[in-house]
Amino acid sequence: MGKKVVIVGGVAGGASVAARIRRLDEFAQIVMFEKGPYVSFSNCSIPFHISGEVENAKSLVMMSPEQFDRQYNIDARVYNEVVAINREAKSVIVKNHSTGETYEENYDVLFLAPGANAIRPQSIAGINDEHVFVMKTVPDVEALMAYTKDNEVSDVAVVGGGFIGLEVAENLKLAGYNVTLIEALDQVMAPLDYDMVQMVHREMMNNGVELVVSDCVAAIEKDQVILSSGRKIKAQAVVMSIGVRPENTLAKDAGLELGINGAIKVNHHYQTSDPAIYAVGDAIETTDFFTGAKTQLTLAGPAQRQARAAADHVYGKNYVNTGVIGSSSVRVFGLNVANTGLNEKQCQAKGIAYDFSYIIPKDKVSLIPGANNIFFKLIFAYPSGKILGAQAIGKGNVDKRIDVIATAIMFNGNLENLKELELSYSPHFSTAKDVVNHGALVGLNILNGDFKKVPVTKVRELVESKAFIIDAREEREFAVSHLKTSVNIPLSQFRNRLDEIPKDRPIYVHCRSSQRSYNMVRALMQHGFDNVYNIDGSFLGICEYEYFNDVTLNRDPIVTDYNFR
């Protein structure tokens, strides 16, 4: 008879532990406890049931207890909650919610994969009312859909602009509800920098989601939400998605050591302070790849890798714990959004010297139908050029570009490495110089001081101060829309119009996507213009960045027409 392995919790962490243990040890006795009705389900796919993209909620369930038994000889017990750990006796106390009985189960090795709990701030009046929901499990989405149908709900407020909040808001809107998304910070999607996230803001607004930022919920009433500002949001149902806390009750009560934010402290092999007890998934603290500091990351991919590593350690297999970098992606209506590694805010918080390239190339050859822009931001260490992170937004395959950057980060790649990457190419899938190669080349130009740039965040200030801004696009493009104070000197004409460009003040140049303006900047430098700057993101980036704030702050636009495309 092999080891007796007890696992608390299923889904990505616990179920992966069970499957790996079985592959390593055919004779192990494996018992997996889940307090809810489903031991293995796709929690990342839950929001898509709201719109009907995932038609049947039951299809979210990946494996039943019967399948675990037949295929893997794993004893998966649902509605069985582990309520205590007796470390001395190496046993757990289990409450069977179906029968009401309590019993004891011994173990040789115990794995904790309890996950995390959705945060419900008890300071908010009405937070526990029946029309307030979270979105963590299959029963959660079933309860929301049943309530909205039975009570003829038309208005829903989603509180929290993280990945789950965005997906819930999108799918509620697609299902026909009036949706308001409320975020306490000044932006949704914290992993994105403020200049990049404006495209997400605009996409949500263009698809009919009422977006409220820099405000938070003070009270929830039967048919409305009251914000701290005093604003009232019509809502007969509310979905709270403001984050999660590690479920540490069992570990804490058992005297296991806890780490940051109450997460379970684990070592290199995911052992807790008790060597016979391992912990994986959303409940544990992990290691930041860049700094070695302790952090938390609630993603399914890392949880599965942790599960495999922990199971392997039980059987003496080695594991290199690299830490986490934080790679993720999300769809927001017609946009695909992905990121990896550090953003500007994180670099600043960690005291890391950095710079970035911001480009807007096509995701495939422009002659091919369906070619779209990719807004791509590559962050690198200064002066080493080591790759630190990236963000990408577009209608096409942004995720594969971010996956390339994530790989480069894990192998400690730098701009030179990224420039030389030989990536697959066909006009339908990419360009000969792929987005990531392009980003590296621009990054090297910046690193080497080949030209100067100014971020899109400074353009309003330039316009209001009457800076000399050249629009390098053709006259027909300028006529459609332009910066109100810009001067149109197309790339095709500027060599014959050098006398119109002053040499006694800074010159700022933009085009549609920075390519023409970059070429003009390099040429002007050779014509004796020493104080010339390329505007990051150019006109496309300017329009995306300014639109949301102009609308929400009701300020004078700096662009003649934001909807020029």
**Predicted pLDDT of residue 553:** 77
CATH class in words for 4-116+245-314:
alpha beta
- Name the packing angle between helices 398-410 and 435-447 (round to 10°): 50
Pull the structure tokens for residue 70: 């037949």
Which of these, 200, 203, 180, 178, lies nearest to 188 by C-alpha position?
200
Residue 246 forms beta bridges with which residues?
116
Lowest mean pLDDT segment, chosen from 10-14, 15-19, 156-160 = 10-14
Mean pLDDT over 338-352 rounds to 96
Q: Which band of pLDDT confidence, cut at 50, 70 and 90, is reported for residue 396?
A: very high
Rounded Cα gap, residues 470 and 372, in angstroms: 25
What is the dihedral angle through the alpha carbons of 278, 280, 282, 287, rounded to the nearest 10 degrees? Answer: 100
Q: CA end-to-end span of the chain, whole Å?
A: 69
> Does the domain at residues 132-242 carry the CATH identifier 3.90.1150.10?
no
In 228-289 the beta strands, taken as DSSP E runs, fall at 232-234, 237-240, 244-246, 277-279, 286-287
State yes or no: pLDDT of 1 exceeds 70: no
Question: In the chain, what percentage of residues exceed pLDDT 90?
Answer: 86
Mean pLDDT over 418-435 rounds to 94
**Predicted pLDDT of residue 565:** 65
What does the mean pLDDT of the chain come to?
94
Rounded Cα gap, residues 91 and 85, in angstroms: 6
pLDDT digits (tens, 9 = 90+) for 75-127: 999 999 999 999 999 999 999 999 999 999 999 999 999 999 999 999 999 99
pLDDT digits (tens, 9 = 90+) for 171-221: 999 999 999 999 999 999 999 999 999 999 999 999 999 999 999 999 999
How many CB atoms within 10 Å of residue 194?
Answer: 17
99 or 319: which carries more pLDDT confidence? 99
Rounded Cα gap, residues 95 and 484, in angstroms: 69
Does residue 454 contact residue 491 with C-beta atoms inside 8 Å?
no
Residue spans of the domains in the chain: they are 4-116+245-314, 132-242, 334-449, 453-553
Provide the phi-psi class of 449: left if phi over 0, else alpha when psi is between -120 and 50, else beta.
left
Q: Using omega within 30 degrees of 0 as the cis cutoff, is the peptide bond preceding 383 cis?
A: yes
**Predicted pLDDT of residue 219:** 97
Residue located via tokens 């050779």: 526
Mean pLDDT over 449-473 rounds to 96
Look up the CATH number of domain 334-449. Answer: 3.50.50.60
Does residue 225 contact residue 262 with C-beta atoms inside 8 Å?
no
Does residue 336 contact residue 399 with C-beta atoms inside 8 Å?
yes
Q: Are strands 374-381 and 387-394 parallel, antiparallel or unpaired?
A: antiparallel
Which of these, 306, 301, 358, 305, lies nearest to 326 by C-alpha position?
301
Chain centroid offset of residue 166 CA: 10
In 137-260 the beta strands, taken as DSSP E runs, fall at 155-159, 178-183, 210-213, 217-220, 224-227, 232-234, 237-240, 244-246
Which of these, 342, 356, 514, 346, lies nearest to 447 by C-alpha position?
356
Same fold, 4-116+245-314 and 334-449: yes
Cβ-count burial of 195 within 10 angstroms (0-12 exposed, 13-18 middle, 19+ buried)? buried
State yes or no: pLDDT of 447 exceeds 70: yes
Q: How far is CA 557 from CA 200, 273, 398, in A?
A: 19, 58, 30
Rounded Cα gap, residues 278 and 196, in angstroms: 39
Mean pLDDT over 448-469 rounds to 96
State yes or no: pLDDT of 373 exceeds 70: yes
Those residues with Cβ within 8 angstroms of residue 340's Cβ, 6 or more apart along the chain or in another chain = 325, 326, 327, 328, 389, 390, 402, 403, 405, 406, 409
Of 3.40.250.10, 3.40.50.10860, 3.30.365.10, 3.30.1330.180, which CATH number belongs to 453-553? Answer: 3.40.250.10
Which of these, 271, 512, 547, lies nearest to 373 by C-alpha position?
512
